[in-house]
Chains A and B, each alone.
Chain A
Amino acid sequence: MPDPDWPLALHAVLAARGVTLASYVPDAGHAALIRAAEDDPSMRTVALSTEEEGVALAAGAWIGGGRSVLLMQSSGVGNCLNMLSLIRTGRFPFLTLVTMRGEWGEFNPWQVPMSEATAPAFELMGVQVHRVERAEDAAPTVDAAAASAFEGGSAVAVLLAQRLIGSKSFGEAPK
């Protein structure tokens, strides 16, 4: 049985890696992790108006000595592209966790184009991409990505497969 508490394991990994700032544009697949971050007095959550703000926020936080993570869904990755120039030009450590839409039982066709472009877009902008398909791989993958980012200075995205998140999380299809 897959572990349904993998989002809580991700929170524990991020906290252990010293992440104190979690910015997000909400996604149902991130809801449990966002809630865990909100419930953690050592972690500050920042609701964004658009995902690229989280890229700039991460760079500013890092200059101030803060470690941060950006939580978004795959559609938001497209919003980030030019802002990732900041990460690459400044060689900032950067960690983002992306819940994938548009790839497994998706009811909304608008999610498909950016879903298919998510990994290539990151790679075009110099961000390493890891992908998680199984619940038991989630925490170790995010831990490795956080190590690459905060110890190695890399820009890293972890894509959380739609199959992992489960279609139930998305609620009712639009009528």
Chain B
Amino acid sequence: MSGGMETRLDRRAVVARLLSDRGETVAVSGLGSPSWDVAAPGDHPRNVYLWGAMGGCVAMALGLALARPDVPVLAVTGDGEMMMGVGSLAVVAAQAPANLTIVVLDNGEYGETGAQRAHTAPNAPNRADLAALAAASGIRAARTVTTEAELEALAGEIPTRSAGPVFAAVTVAPGPAPRAAIANALKDMGHGRVRTRLALGLSAT
């Protein structure tokens, strides 16, 4: 906490808000807590959950966004997962998909594994700044989100398919969020990939 001056956003509430006006959006969630955050408001055939493949969330969302420019695509991942695939931000910038929004839930720690200090840990003088990394990678619409008002603006951009690529590092409170019921699609990507294809009007194979 910044000297106790701020109240950091709650990750579960942040994701619920971003998905509440999702429209046709396909959401791809990075391994760990972001997948539970995305599942918590209700499982959805346009949710694609990763529970492994660390570092691949943004690249996977990019593949989807390029294949379906008519569909808004939202990547939701954590700061640790993002750091492992941080080069993919430059790949996104070069491709410039207008329908892609990347949201990083930045709690500054590796929450899945015992809350070890992460590169983005707050108040460290040498902390990594994810929004600055995204901007320096060439994503012009890159920013840090710390307030409800900024969250509202972000939520409004996601379904437009025209604002991207957007990058938002949302500063969220540390600590575990309760585990929701595990969606079948989270346990079984083989099922999850097919149901999302069907939701997009494609054949199962």
Q: Is the CB of A63 within 8 A of B55?
A: no
Q: How far is the CB of A104 from chain B (nearest CB, A)?
A: 30
Q: Is the CB of B52 within 8 A of A64?
A: no
Q: Is the CB of A90 within 8 A of B66?
A: no
Residues of A near B125 (CB, < 8 A) are: none
Q: Is the CB of B55 within 8 A of A61?
A: no
Bound-complex Cα distance A54 to B62 (A): 10
Given known contacts A47-B91, A49-B91, A63-B48, A68 and B63 CB-to-CB distance under 8 angstroms: yes
Given known contacts A46-B95, A91-B190, A55 and B56 CB-to-CB distance under 8 angstroms: yes
Q: Is the CB of B200 within 8 A of A64?
A: yes
Residues of B near A44 (CB, < 8 A) are: 66
Q: Is the CB of B66 within 8 A of A86?
A: no
Any chain B CB within 8 A of the CB of A50? Answer: yes
Q: Is the CB of B66 within 8 A of A48?
A: no
Any chain A CB within 8 A of the CB of B5? Answer: no
Q: Is the CB of A86 within 8 A of B50?
A: yes
Q: How many A-B residue pairs have CB under 8 A?
A: 123
Q: Is the CB of B94 within 8 A of A57?
A: no
Bound-complex Cα distance A57 to B95 (A): 12
Any chain B CB within 8 A of the CB of A72? Answer: no
Bound-complex Cα distance A46 to B87 (A): 13
Q: How far is the CB of A87 from chain B (nearest CB, A)?
A: 9
Residues of A near B88 (CB, < 8 A) are: 48-49, 53
Residues of A near B66 (CB, < 8 A) are: 21, 44, 46, 57, 61, 64, 66
* Interface locus among B111-119, B152-160, B173-181, B191-199: B191-199
Q: Is the CB of A65 within 8 A of B190?
A: no
Any chain A CB within 8 A of the CB of B90? Answer: yes
Given known contacts A47-B94, A49-B87, A92 and B63 CB-to-CB distance under 8 angstroms: no
21 residue pairs of the A-B complex, CB under 8 angstroms, read: A49-B90, A50-B87, A53-B56, A53-B85, A54-B59, A55-B59, A56-B60, A56-B85, A59-B60, A61-B63, A61-B64, A64-B26, A64-B66, A64-B67, A65-B68, A66-B67, A82-B52, A85-B52, A90-B190, A90-B193, A91-B190
* Residues in A lying within 8 Å of B, measured CB to CB: 20-21, 44, 46-50, 52-66, 68, 82-83, 85-86, 89-92, 153
